Amino acid sequence: MSKINNPTISVNSGLRPSYIHVNLDRITDNFHAIRAKVGDTDVMPIIKANAYGHGIEVIGKHMEKLGAKNLGVAFVEEAILLREAGIRIPILVLGGILGGQIPLYLHHDLTLTASSIEKLEQIDKTAEEMGVIAKVHLKIDTGMERIGMHYYSAESLLEASLKCKHLIVEGIFSHFANADVSDLSHARLQLERFNEVLSFYEKRSLPYPIRHIANSAAVLQLPESYFDMVRPGIMLFGVYPSNEVKKTIEIKPALTWKSRVVFFKVVKPGHPVSYGSEWQSDKMVRVVTVPVGFGDGYFRSMTGKAEVLINGKRYPVVGRICMDQFMVNIDWDSAYNGDEVVLVGGDEECICVEDLADWAGTTPYEILTNINTRVPRAYK
C-alpha cells in the first residue's frame, strides 16, 4: 500500500480505519486480457466517475504507463484533472458540452464530442478565434436517445464536418443501450445503423475516422463491433457489466474495501438496534460497530440484507445502516476493537461488488461509483 490518494488521511496514520485497497497488478492483467481479445484494435480505457471509484489520477497514470494511446472520461472537469496530474496522451470527453466550455477543452488540448451541427460549428468558430485546431469525435445516436445526431439524420452532420476548417474529425462513435443482455437483437440493430452511417465515407472515397462503439459488454459479446477502437470501462477493474453477459475474458476484481471494529457490546433480547428499532434479537448477542455508512457509499438500502467478513467468517449487518456507522451481529463469537472487517473482497470466503449490488437492488456500476472520496484509496 505505497500510495494514498489523500495525503491527510492515511491508512497507517491512525486516522480513518476504513479504506479502499486497489490492486494495480490486477488492473494490468485485465487490460492485457482485453488487448489480447481485441487483437489489433486499440483499447481506450474509460476512467470516468473517479475511475469507477478506483481513483482517476492514479488509474490514469497507470493506464498511460501501460501504453494506452488515449483515455475516455465523461466530463471536462475529469479531463482537466488528468492533465493537471501530468497525463499527456489524448483524452476524449464523451459527454455533451456547452458552448462556453469549449475554450477549456482547447486550452487543455482535449478531444471534444460533437453531437450536433450546432455544436460542431461552435467548436470550429471557437478554435478559429483561439488560433488552434480542435480535435473532435462525431457522436451518432443509433438507439440510446441520449446525446448524438440520430442515425437517420447523420449525413447532414458528416457533410457539415467536411466544411469545418479549424477542426479535425478524429473519430466517429456511438453507444450501445443493450449490449449487456443475452438477447443482442437491439445491439445488432444499432450496429447495423452505425454501419449505414459509416457508408458515407466509403461512398465518397474518404478515409474513415477512428470508428468505435464497443463498451465492456460489447467487448465480451460482440466482436463484430470492435472496429478501430473499443471502450472498456468497468471490466478493466475486474467487474462484469451484468450477470447476463458471456464471460469470454477472464478478469479479476481490483478493489477491496475494509474497515475495523471500533466498538463491542452485548445486546440483550428485546433491545432494538439502530434507527427505527427495526431489528432486535430474541437472545443475548454480541454486536460490533463498524465506522462506515451510507455517507461513504455503503447503501442504506442494504439494511437487513448486507453481510461482512470478520476473521474470515460472514456475519449479518443488523439494524438500519447509518450515515457513518453500521452494526454487525456476531452472535456469541469473539471480535475485538481493531479487528479487520471486510466489506468487499476476501480470500476463501469473498464478498463481491455484485453481492452489494444485489442487496441494494442496483448495479455494480452504482456501488463502485458511489464509494465516497472520504474513503482513502491505497495502491499496491
Residue 325 clears pLDDT 90, i.e. is over it: yes
Within a 13 Å sphere around the CA of 24, how many CA atoms are in the beta-carbon half?
19
Q: How high is the pLDDT of residue 197? A: 98
**Residue 4: band (very low, low, confident or very high) from pLDDT cuts 50, 70, 90:** very low
Residue 25 clears pLDDT 90, i.e. is over it: yes
pLDDT digits (tens, 9 = 90+) for 202-260: 999 999 999 999 999 999 999 999 999 999 999 999 999 999 999 999 999 999 999 99
**Are the C-beta atoms of residues 340 and 328 closer than 8 Å to each other?**
no
Q: How high is the pLDDT of residue 14? A: 58
Q: How high is the pLDDT of residue 16? A: 83
Question: Spelled out in words, what is the top-level CATH class assigned to the domain 24-237?
Answer: alpha beta
pLDDT digits (tens, 9 = 90+) for 134-181: 999 999 999 999 999 999 999 999 999 999 999 999 999 999 999 999
Can 19 be counted among the known catalytic residues? no
Q: How high is the pLDDT of residue 11? A: 47
% pLDDT > 70, the chain: 96
Long-range contacts of 216-220 (CB under 8 A, 24+ apart): 216/180, 216/240, 216/241, 217/176, 217/179, 217/180, 217/241, 217/242, 217/245, 218/176, 218/179, 218/187, 219/34, 219/37, 219/38, 219/249, 220/245, 220/246, 220/247, 220/248, 220/249
Q: How high is the pLDDT of residue 8? A: 35
% pLDDT > 90, the chain: 94
275, 283, 336, 380: the catalytic one is 275
pLDDT digits (tens, 9 = 90+) for 282-310: 999 999 999 999 999 999 999 999 999 99
Q: How high is the pLDDT of residue 3? A: 46
Residue 326 clears pLDDT 70, i.e. is over it: yes
Q: How high is the pLDDT of residue 99? A: 87
Q: E strand or H helix at 123, and its extent?
A: helix 117-130
Strand runs (DSSP E) across the chain, as ranges? 3-4, 19-22, 42-43, 71-73, 91-93, 111-114, 134-141, 149-150, 167-173, 210-214, 229-230, 255-260, 263-267, 285-290, 307-310, 313-318, 326-329, 340-344, 377-379
Residue 10 clears pLDDT 70, i.e. is over it: no
Residue 7 clears pLDDT 70, i.e. is over it: no
Q: Quote the CA–CA distance of 221 and 230 in Å, as a whole number.
A: 12
For the chain, the structural domain boundaries read: 24-237, 255-379
**Average pLDDT over every residue of 325-330:** 98
**How is residue 276 written as a grid cell?**
427505527
Q: How high is the pLDDT of residue 9? A: 41
For 153-184, letters b (16+ CB in 10 Å) and e give ebeebbebbeebebbebbbbbbbbbbbbbeeb
19, 48, 139, 379: the catalytic one is 48
Q: How high is the pLDDT of residue 5? A: 45
Can 275 be counted among the known catalytic residues? yes
Residue showing cell 443482442 = 184
| CATH tag, 255-379 | 2.40.37.10
CA angle in degrees (0–180, nearest 5) for 206-208-213: 150
